[in-house]
Structure 1
Amino acid sequence: MATKDLSAYDINSVPSAENMSFGIVVAEWNWEITSALAGGAIDTLKKHGAAEENITVKYVPGTFELPLGGQFFAEMANVDAVILLGCVIQGETRHFDYICEGVTQGTKDLNLKYNKPFIFGVLTTNDEQQALDRAGGKHGNKGDEAAVTAIKMVGLQRSF
């Protein structure tokens, strides 16, 4: 099965982010990977016109804590969208399943509760190499994809 390039998109399909503000929550666990995702997201937001002062980055210990970090943004900061960036790598136990399910449900709940885009930028891979390949490696950067999604969702919300 082919994996798409997470950094490839039609640049003309993305609205300007010039008047948009973003929160980014980054998991510290698997830092080599999550910091690369954050770098990709920040670069992509700026590429589309977001001002540096309109991008706020905060950190949580692990991927499971991303939804609460997102909720803090919703309740304590004036942002148009929140990007949640993390990485969960399959291990020998069911821990992977519980973390992935929790952060997925938590992100969905935030979207519906706050009527604001919360973007799921979480890698869920079988091994570290797959994660590296999707954090700026041969499959692009999931952070780029998450930033483009955030911009598009803010644009959609504003169109109503």
Structure 2
Amino acid sequence: MSSALKNLSDFSTANLPDVSQKRFAIIVSEWNTEVTGALYTGAFDTLVKHGVQENHIVSAQVPGSFELSLGAQKFAQREDIDAVICLGCVIQGETRHFDFICQAVADGITNVSLKYNKPVIFGVLTPNTQEQAMDRAGGKHGNKGDEAAITAIKMLALN
């Protein structure tokens, strides 16, 4: 089915692990704050909805999506953090800057996850337009922040 016709945040919450004692960090890009703020709200609310204590969620802002990797590393290295969620939005522009940033962020977040052997979730939107971003940040296609939170919870089940 075309994504134009589907809520993309349709995911299963069956068999989620108990996360009442788990601690999460949410790192949020300040760039495209209208979008990233909505992603943050979705991620935070979803964690709480599924049993995470509010005081077990810490958050930090970084200037842009490129800085998410270092922000994630600062929290991933902490023993008291079980999973890190990275939220950002890079909107396609007229230059190749988009390609370089998106690739660097994806590689950086992956590397942090592997280095610290814990879930570091890529919740970065890469839409073509502001409208597409809003559609995926609580609009007609759901909220990718919700999905990032569920992904973090599910990845903790691997441990």
**In which range does the TM-score fall when normalised by the shorter chain?**
over 0.9
Verify the 8 A CA contact 1:27 1:86 in the aligned structure 2.
yes
Shift of 1:47: 0.5
**Number of positions where the alignment pairs a residue of Structure 1 with one of Structure 2:** 157
1:105 counterpart residue number = 107
How far off its partner does 1:9 sit?
2.0
Give the fraction of aligned pairs with identical amino acids, expressed as a percent: 59
Partner of 1:92: 94
Partner of 1:121: 123
Q: Secondary structure in 1 aligned to 2:75?
A: helix
Letter in 1 for 2:36: T
Q: Structure 1 residue 16: deviation in Å?
A: 2.7
Per-residue deviation, 1:76 = 4.1
C-alpha separation between the residues in 2 aligned to 1:28 and 1:109?
22
Post-superposition offset of 1:77: 5.8
Stretches of structure 2 that go unaligned for 5 or more consecutive residues are: none
Aligned residue for 1:13? 15
Structure 1 equivalent of residue 2 of structure 2: 2
Distance 1:101 1:10 in 2: 28
Counterpart check, 1:27 vs 2:41: no
Q: Which has the higher helix share?
A: 1
Q: Given the alignment, which residue of 142, 146, 149 partners 2:148?
A: 146
The answer (yes or no) to whether the contact 2:13–2:150 under 8 Å persists in 1 is: no
Query: Aligned AA for 2:153?
Result: I
* Gaps in structure 1 of 5+ consecutive residues: none
Instruction: Tell me which residue corresponds to 1:47.
Output: 49
Provide the alpha-carbon RMSD of the alignment: 1.2
Distance in structure 2 (CA, Å) of the matches to 1:97 and 1:150 = 25
